[in-house]
Structure 1
Amino acid sequence: MHIVLVLDHAHVNGGQAKVAIDSAVGLRARGHDVTLFAAVGPVDPRLTEAGVEVVCLGQDDLNSASSKLAFAAQVVWNAPAARALAARLSACDPARTLVHVHGWAKALSPAIGRVLARCGLPVTYTMHEFFLVCPNGGFYDFRRHEICHRTPLSGACIATNCDSRSYAHKALRLVRHVALDRVSGMRAVFRHVVTISALQESVITPHMPPGTVFHRVDNPIPAVDHGPKPVPGEHFLFVGRLSPEKGAPHFAEAARQAGLRSVFVGDGPSGAMLRARYPEAVFLGWKSPAEVAGLMRAARALVFPSVWYEGQPLTVYEALATGTPVIVSDACAGREAVADGETGLWFPSGDAAALAAHLRTLSDDGVARRMSAAAHARYWAAPLSLERHLDRLTAVYTLVQADHAARAGSAAPAPALARAALS
């Protein structure tokens, strides 16, 4: 199989690119021909070392653009990227090629939608976030600090300043979404969509065309099994961006109410406020992945108080893999990884008092020990390894190729083996 992976960045700058690049290297190791097409460099050296063909356009993203006006035009309609993608896909063998889009909103733009619609190749898309269906990508009102239930591009959506920066930035995203919806027809291009949580699928289904086929493929987790924890940890831990949507202020307040120590790994716009308001908390800043894993292993529980939709928060799974229970908000997809009362606890989103009660519950050594053992056993019974991710992904590819061929009138339905792999 020849797999063309399409995304904004050719290096790891977040979870989306990490999953795409890890899968590119893994698929190449399995003998597939892999091309990674990206707008923004530099190129991750692992790609070339693995024998992955890389087409990187050397374009800008928001952080590197010298002209914000020029970049605004790029994110609405990146014609050079569309031409380059069309040229590369035109050289592909349609009998063995599949195009898998991981990201487009940060640099490639909706312009690639027309190319994908006309290329004659099977295509699929992983919904890492919500930009395909929501102008600001998160169904979240950053001004009111609440989940947004407005219909995208409705009058209420257009009139609401929900952007974390300014309404001017929201207006640009609205223009881009109009280009996506009315010019490129990008949503209709992806008959097959990969989702990473049940919550995500339920959120996007009303906004996708009828007949869209959803496939669940969990992201891989780079975890190491160190065995069950011998004793419960000491501190309650938060890992991530210190911002209102991540719920960091709720955790700080809950820990104060419970009279327990809170430890924060990460930083962000709420950092200064939290340090001033909660001097009893410990703020460690950003740490390396190895340091974070050690802190998780030493924690009594990870607290994941996010108040917005999260596609598949990897931090939750990483904590469970270390044998650390998780206290999770019921508003985010992280709850799907936590068996309430067994491997952790759910609490009502934004309710600091309820979170404080759960912190007190896990302060009991017996409860913490029981949940720690269950968290470790449950995760490692079916770990989210890269190999498992690749197995699932290639089964989806087989189905997408077969469906594409069948709809073109040149092949039978997908083989039973592939269907079984997805059941």
Structure 2
Amino acid sequence: MKIVVVADHAAINGGQTKVAIESALGLAGRGHRVVYFAAVGPADPRLAAAGIEVIVLGQTDVAQTRSLAAFGVQWLWNRPAAAALRDLLAACDPHDTVVHVHAWAKALSPSLGPVLRASPVPAVLTLHEYYLACPNGGFYDYPVSAACQRAPLSAACLAHNCDSRSYARKLMRVGRHVLMQQTGLIEGLSALLTISRLQRDVTAPYLPANLPHYEVPNPIDALPLGPKPDGASGDLVFVGRLSPEKGARLFAEAARRAGLPAVFVGDGPQRAELEAAYPEARFAGWQDPAAVKRSLRAARALVFPSVWYEGQPLTVLESLAMGTPVIVSDLCAGREAVRDGVSGLWFRSGDVASLAEAMVRLSDDATARRMAQAAYDLFWADPLTMERHLDGLERVYREVAPSPAASRAASARAGAAAPAGPRPVPSAR
């Protein structure tokens, strides 16, 4: 097949783009014709080396722009991106092509919606976050550092500032969300791919009931190194961005109460604050992927105290693959990978005492060894490998790709009139 991968970025800058790029490479390796379409460069050199056609628009994103006012036009409606994608899809055979959208919210904008809705080429979207349902993309209330329970666009939602910066920015997000809903991004999809059960449960009330849904977990980059020689060695470690939604302060405070050392691998806006408030903690800073894996392998346990839903936290899965148990918040999707009391422990989200209690439990050497063995055995009994991920993608692509006759009919409809209503989608898997 021909697969058009659509993302904000063409180089890895986080887990979302990492999955987009590495799955594109994997699909090309299986003989598919892959086109990688992105707003922001530079492009990962591996894409072209793998024979993938790369289209980069040379634009910026919301995090890199020097003028939010100037960037706001692109952020709300990226007309050049829509035109470029329309031209690309017009040259594709609709019964032998699938569009796979991984990211649109940081640079490409809702302008993709009318293009996907008008095209006879089927499109799927991986829900790496929650932008299709929530204006700020996370069901997260930044000012109070807690998950948001308000219904998107309800009176309670509109009246409350959940944005990390200002209420004016929140209102901009609301406006863009309404624009996205009214211009066909969701209606332009033939299927939605989620990466965890929690993600599906959280978004289902706000998405069309007849939109087919497939769970295709992200792949984990890990090797089976064997169980750890000593699962009771090492410290309790936090790996990731030092920011409120990740629960970094919660970890530091729980470690203090438990009388255990807190080790941070990562960096972020809270680092200086945490270093000042918790001088007993150790801060290793950012590490490259290989060093992160070594840190996870050497740890007694990973502590993952995130206070928002997450999508599918890869750090949790990488830790289990290393044979390291995980202490995880019972609110976030990471809990799905951890068997409570077997390969790690759940604690009450946001509860310092509950987290401290879990940390004390895993300070027991016998408990740590037992859970380390279980973490390794359970992960590698059914590993989330790239091959398994690609198998899942190919199954979805086959199921959404229309027959040649259906494609010709859809092309005729698209050519006869401008898109006035939602494109029909299958009612069942």
After alignment, is 156-165 or 313-322 more displaced? 156-165
Give yes or no for the alignment of 1:213 onto 2:218: no
Cα separation, 2, equivalents of 1:187 and 1:276: 46
Equivalence map 1:179-218=2 (5 Å): 179-182=179-182, 184-218=183-217
Q: Does the Cα contact within 8 Å between 1:251 and 1:303 map onto a contact in 2?
A: yes
- SS of the aligned residue for 1:189 comes to coil
Q: Pairwise mapping of residues 208-287 of structure 1 onto structure 2 (< 5 A)?
A: 208-231=207-230, 232-287=232-287
TM-score normalised by the chain length of structure 1: 0.94
SS in 2 for 1:43: coil
Looking at structure 1, the residues matched to 270 and 404 of structure 2 have their Cα atoms a distance apart, in angstroms, of: 47
SS in 1 for 2:401: helix
RMSD over aligned CA atoms reads 1.6
Instruction: Find the aligned partners of 1:13 and 1:94 in 2 and give their Cα distance.
Output: 31
Shift in Å, 1:266? 1.1
One-letter code aligned to 1:199:
L
CA contact (8 A) 2:94 2:407 kept: no
Paired residues in the alignment total: 410
- How has the CA–CA distance of structure 1 residues 408 and 366 changed in structure 2, closer, same or farther, with 3 Å as cutoff? farther
Write the letter of the residue equivalent to 1:383: P
Cα distance between partner residues in 1 of 2:101 and 2:296: 33
2:328 matched to 1:328? yes
Give yes or no for contact 1:180–1:186 (8 Å, CA) kept in 2: yes
Q: What does residue 152 of structure 1 align with?
A: 152
SS of equivalent residue, structure 1 residue 199: helix
**2:8 counterpart SS class:** strand
Secondary structure of 2:144's partner? Answer: coil
Shift in Å at residue 400 of structure 1?
1.2
Deviation at 1:155, TM superposition (A): 2.1
Matches within 5 A, 1:169-180: 169-180=169-180
CA apart distance, 1:406: 6.3
Contact 1:233–1:301 (Cα < 8 Å) also in 2: no
CA drift of 1:283 comes to 0.8
Q: Map residues 107-146 of structure 1 onto 2, 5 A cutoff.
A: 107-146=107-146
Residues 19 and 218, structure 2, Cα contact 8 Å, conserved in 1: yes
Distance in 1 (CA, whole Å) between partners of 2:198 and 2:139 is 13
Match of 1:76 in 2: 76
Q: Extract unaligned runs of 5+ from structure 2.
A: 411-428
How far did 1:62 drift? 2.2
Distance in 1 separating the partners of 2:326 and 2:43: 35
> In structure 2, what is the equivalent of residue 415 of structure 1?
none
Q: Which whole-Å deviations, capped at 9, do the CAs of 1:174-228 have from their partners, x for residues lacking one?
A: 121121012x122222241000000000000000012011100010111122110
The aligned counterpart of 1:413 is none
Q: Find the counterpart in structure 1 of residue 414 from structure 2.
A: none
Q: Identity percentage over the alignment?
A: 58
Query: Does structure 2 retain, via aligned residues, the 8 Å contact 1:139–1:148?
Result: yes
1:307 corresponds in structure 2 to 307
Contact kept in structure 2, 1:194 and 1:216, CA below 8 Å: yes
For residue 151 of structure 2, give the secondary structure of its aligned residue in structure 1.
coil
Asked if the contact 1:131–1:138 (Cα under 8 Å) also holds between the matched residues in 2, the reply is: yes
Output the TM-score relative to the length of structure 2: 0.93
Q: Is the 8 A contact 1:191 1:211 kept in 2?
A: no
Does 1:383 pair with 2:383? yes
**Structure 1 gap ranges (5+):** 411-422
Residue type of the alignment partner of 1:19: V
SS in 1 for 2:296: helix
